[in-house]
């Protein structure tokens, strides 16, 4: 059986572009900063865009992801196919909605940031392929029902905080959700007849 060659599939097998430990504070700095060299070089297009769908931005001081989409378009050949982003150990106060635009995102590392609101996790519910998420080391980890809330909000997860999600985790999360999340009341409109 002959399969058609796809540059996007080739880039899925490429190593991540690694900007970890670079002291990056602003996403724009990715265009001028050299990525860390890896064991295997990342292929580039003639225009200089990288052929990878994985990104390491961990251990920096990033606190804002504005312009993330524009920078990814300049940096990567197939930014819409990003499937793995590591933003751990930065200073992110929220889960930026820009991350939810990466429909193919499978793995998202956000541990060791400054995320304070458990409801920030709700934003990630629109990512149908998200299978692995890390959030430990954020202030939200101290919230009551933290693990159950995340698992019940993101039912497609297979791993959370580097721990596999078990059937018991899912049933505990379902019970927790029924007991703690009140359904929204639907208001009936009264007509003036």
Locate tokens 């993101």: which residue?
154
pLDDT value at residue 30: 95
Residues 6 or more apart whose CB falls under 8 angstroms from that of 156 comprise 128, 129, 130, 131
CA 142 to chain centre: 21
Residues 6 or more apart from 88 whose CB is under 8 A from it? 58, 59, 109, 110, 111, 112, 113, 134, 137
- pLDDT per residue as tens digits for the range 62-108: 999 999 999 999 999 999 999 999 999 999 999 999 999 999 999 99
Q: How far is CA 26 from CA 60, 135, 146, 161, in A?
A: 9, 21, 30, 26
Check if the beta carbon of residue 121 is closer than 8 Å to that of residue 93. Answer: no
User: Over the chain, what is the mean pLDDT?
Assistant: 90
| Beta strand ranges found along 118-178 (DSSP E) | 132-134, 159-160, 163-164
C-alpha to C-alpha distance for 18 and 117, rounded to whole angstroms: 29
Q: What is the pLDDT of residues 104-149, one digit of tens each?
A: 999 999 999 999 999 999 999 999 999 999 999 999 999 999 999 9
Quote the pLDDT of residue 14.
87
pTM, 2 dp? 0.87
**Distance between CA atoms of residues 15 and 98, nearest Å:** 23
CA 180, 96, 156, 59 dihedral sign is negative
Please give the pLDDT value at position 31.
94
Share of the chain above pLDDT 70, in %: 88
- Report the relative pairing of strands 163-164 and 159-160 from DSSP bridges: antiparallel
Tokens 């058609």 appear where?
4
């Amino acid at each position: 059986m002959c399969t058609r060659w796809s540059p996007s599939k080739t880039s899925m097998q490429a190593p991540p572009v690694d900007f970890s430990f670079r002291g990056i504070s602003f996403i724009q700095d990715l265009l001028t900063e050299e990525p860390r060299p890896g064991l295997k070089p990342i292929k580039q297009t003639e225009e200089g865009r990288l052929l990878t769908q994985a990104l390491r931005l961990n251990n920096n001081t990033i606190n804002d992801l504005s312009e993330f989409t524009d920078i990814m378009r300049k940096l990567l050949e197939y930014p819409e196919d990003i499937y793995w982003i590591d933003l751990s150990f930065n200073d992110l106060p929220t889960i930026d909605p820009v991350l939810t635009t990466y429909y193919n995102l499978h793995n998202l590392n956000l541990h060791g940031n400054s995320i304070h609101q458990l409801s920030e996790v709700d934003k990630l519910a629109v990512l149908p392929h998200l299978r692995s998420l890390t959030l430990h080391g954020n202030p939200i980890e101290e919230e009551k029902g933290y693990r159950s809330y995340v698992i019940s909000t993101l039912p497609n997860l297979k791993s959370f905080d580097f721990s596999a999600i078990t059937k018991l985790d899912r049933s505990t999360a379902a019970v927790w959700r029924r007991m703690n999340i009140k359904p929204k009341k639907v208001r009936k409109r009264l007509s003036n007849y």
